Structure 1
């Protein structure tokens, strides 16, 4: 089968054993460097993709995407406001709520947390907290307005079991001074475990009970879910401008957005740092080819005397370097893809082997190392690594093409 001279000779040089063993070592080191750099870059970015997906699927499933909260009083026309919010383009669902900062007491055990009073019938349009309820369920809040649902860590701290009674303490209104806090008895009808700080800072009661306690007739806030989480803040403002009420506008970006920003920043840094690692590995090809050119000076001189032009000679060494880059890029992509697809399992095995948990669900919103591979990213990384390896061949290739046959073959005086 016909092959161009440059391709034929370049591939022969790539596979041939070098007289100088050090050249062979540098050649293999450049290939392994590219493999390692590409694989680590793919694994690192897959991990960041996994954290981003976990943030969207898990954390944002229990935190409302956006909230509107009146500055003073409550929503006098609650039903109309809810209808307006639900009809707005981009909004998936809405639910009323009331928030109270309270103190829970069981004997001598006490815990301060935020009580979120919700409507169980519409809360599922906004969040998916019911998925994380270990005992009981939303329907128990509807069945008894004195019901309360707490995070497992809070229930354990207060030494409570499902069915036990807990006292909720609220401060007196600002107009009433030097009075003991108001006390309300609630029955623990369920516990939830989502992971992270939400478990220790949040509790749920029925919105009707909160209205009775606070002496209001309507909700003080509207929570809603949007179809594009990254546009939550913009949509929240648009919805707020369509409602003639003075209120606070909040979204997950203001409360939890630092997590998403951290992930994006780490991704950007990882791109730069690991591409530099790949670049260093690629420029090992320069060392390999410079030594290969010095080793093959006689061969180059003979090819020149036989009529090989400068571009043919350049192409020979570009093919040789590109072959190393291609092998390194492809094997690096395969290794990185395999590790990314099995990263969670590998990480769990390492945790079991070392007998310790690296990601605690009590601190982070997940207790495992997530991974989501993006094949478009894999393709881009592979192509970039290969292009960098080809660029690294330019200087040695130009050096080879400038060799003078007369000097090398001893014909000059």
Structure 2
């Protein structure tokens, strides 16, 4: 059974003719808290969704980890690298590769690329984008044929099609009596690949590992081996413990976050700043709650004086208005959580509806490779947001409640 203070606090939330405006202000505070909580949940869910989608695209287009020799002279001993990861349950597959910078030229167009030599059969085990190539396949790369597969952006910029030729220019030239001349080789285009990452599609070129070794004059050497892990999210911790101090003198290892660390740091910073900005919406609504409670205390001075006269303690008076404010904050938070979770889960459909209604496109699929706005509602985010909202609502009740407990009955009833 509710205590007297709780019952009175709940009664004060009901609108009557005398205090209709005050109750209206309380309603506005509840709606404000709900809007703040909703906005925070939806925005964080969308940011989580983008991060999840882009992370998934990165993991499908990139190896989860790489390992190689510090000294170029040790590259021909690359089978030793496989011994380092052999027997590791975290490693599902590995594949050797050769990688270097190159220029591609065709009909007057020149494009800088990362030329990667792969073993088609083994490369399929560590990446996934080969499954949905627009044209050709990894199996079209044949040793000693100097075939090449281009990223979609590279192919478009050079204006090449399947069966066409591109000239590949190595960064190191040939030394002749006349000086250093560029080292060129024509490759035949046998495939187009689209990884889902704009930067990768604009810089990637694949050839057979044997042809890359010939082109870069590596003999039987490779740049390193690429690894596919059972738990790619744990790649940083796995790579940090993979090599012992002695091995680190001759080998290097890095995970998939190495080239993308700046991106994820920027996203995390943006996420934190957006959370702080949107939290101010809740803070504004909480200030409205403070104002409504102060008005309630002012209006109820006579009631408070009577309660004090019949023996109610100051602490009990304080509890009445704390209950009133806490209940308002609770309803605002619950309403915001419900609406926020529902909107967060369905934000893609909601945005698509307004896109069709207004005839505008908010998600640029050709840039982000996404058909609709992604969303990932995380229960931990929802719980944290709800806890902060309830905490701020509770803090908002302290000053008005304390002020109510300090009202003197004689002063309050003097003009009644």
Fold shared per TM-score above 0.5 = yes
Shift of 1:392: 0.9
How far apart are residue 211 of structure 1 and its match? 2.0
SS in 1 for 2:13: helix
Tell me how far apart the structure 2 counterparts of residues 350 and 195 of structure 1 sit (CA, whole Å). 27
1:35-80 Cα shifts (integer Å, max 9, x gaps):
1111111112212221231233111221223323444245222233
Is contact 1:101-1:113 (8 Å) kept? yes
Q: Give runs of aligned pairs for residues 18-37 of structure 1, distance below 5 A.
A: 19-37=18-36
**CA–CA distance in structure 1, aligned partners of residues 365 and 98 of structure 2:** 28
Which position in structure 2 is the counterpart of 1:125?
125
Question: Deviation at 1:243?
Answer: 4.3
Residue 181 (structure 2) pairs with residue 183 (structure 1): no
Shift of 1:355: 4.6
Q: Secondary structure at the match of 1:14?
A: coil
The separation in 1 between residues aligned to 2:309 and 2:129, in whole angstroms, is 79
Write the distance in 1 (CA, Å) between the matches of 2:45 and 2:227.
30
Q: Shift of the alpha carbon at 1:16?
A: 2.6
TM-aligned CA distance change 1:180 to 1:10, over 3 Å: closer
Partner secondary structure for residue 72 of structure 2: coil
CA contact (8 A) 2:174 2:181 kept: no
Match of 1:392 in 2: 396
CA distance in 2, matches of 1:335, 1:320: 23
Distance in 1 between residues matched to 2:352 and 2:415, nearest whole Å: 68
From 394, 400, 406, the counterpart of 1:402: 406
Q: CA RMSD in A?
A: 2.8
Greater mean deviation of Cα atoms: 70-79 or 300-309: 70-79
Q: Distance in 1 between matches of 2:40 and 2:229?
A: 33
Task: Trace 1:300-311 onto structure 2 (pairs within 5 A).
Answer: 300-311=304-315
| Superposed displacement of residue 245, structure 1 | 7.0
369-378 vs 66-75, which deviates more?
A: 66-75
The CA deviation string for residues 320-349 of structure 1, in whole angstroms up to 9 with x for no partner, is: 111210110011101111111012222334
* Aligned equivalents of 2:198, 2:53: Cα separation in 1: 13
Q: Which residue of 2 aligns with 1:332?
A: 336
Match of 1:263 in 2: 267
Q: Where do 1:145-164 residues align within 5 Å? A: 145-164=145-164
- Given the superposition, is the C-alpha separation of residues 280 and 31 from structure 1 closer, same or farther in structure 2, using an over 3 Å criterion? same
Q: Which residue of 2 aligns with 1:225?
A: 228
Q: Is the 8 A contact 2:100 2:116 kept in 1?
A: yes
For 1:357-368, list aligned pairs within 5 A: 357-360=361-364, 363-364=367-368, 368=372
Partner of 1:42: 41
Unaligned 5+ runs, structure 1:
none
**How far is the alpha carbon of 1:231 from its aligned partner?**
4.9
**Equivalent residue number for residue 202 of structure 2:** 200
* Aligned counterpart, 2:11: 12
Range 13-22 or range 117-126, more displaced: 13-22
Aligned CA distance change for structure 1 residues 407 and 276 (closer, same or farther; 3 Å) = same
Work out the CA distance in 2 between the residues paired with 1:110 and 1:390: 64
> Which stretch of structure 1 is more off in the superposition, 142-151 or 33-42?
142-151
Change (3 A) 1:94 1:275: same
Deviates most, 397-406 or 330-339: 397-406
Tell me, in whole angstroms, the C-alpha distance in 1 between the residues paired with 2:38 and 2:101: 49
1:116 corresponds to: 116
Output the CA distance in 2 between the equivalents of 1:317 and 1:122: 70
Shift of the 282–376 alpha-carbon distance from structure 1 to 2, 3 Å rule, reads same
TM-score by length of 2: 0.88
1:299 paired residue number: 303
Q: Secondary structure in 1 aligned to 2:193?
A: strand
TM-score (norm 1): 0.89
Cα deviation, residue 370, structure 1: 2.0
1:88-124 deviations in Å (ceiling 9; x for gaps): 4643432111012222233333322111111122223
8 Å contact kept, 1:74–1:219:
no
Q: Deviations over 1:252-299 (max 9, x none)?
A: 333111111112212222333333331221122111111111111112
State the number of aligned residues.
411
Match of 1:68, SS? strand
Q: How far off is 1:234 after superposition? A: 5.1
Partner of 2:85: 85
Deviation per CA, 1:327-380: give whole Å up to 9, x if none: 100111011111110122223344445555445455557564321001232122
Q: How far apart are the structure 2 equivalents of 1:58 and 1:381?
A: 29
Answer whether contact 2:41 2:337 (CA < 8 A) is retained: yes
Residues 29, 285 of structure 2: 8 Å contact kept: yes
Residue 180 of structure 2 aligns to a residue in which SS? coil
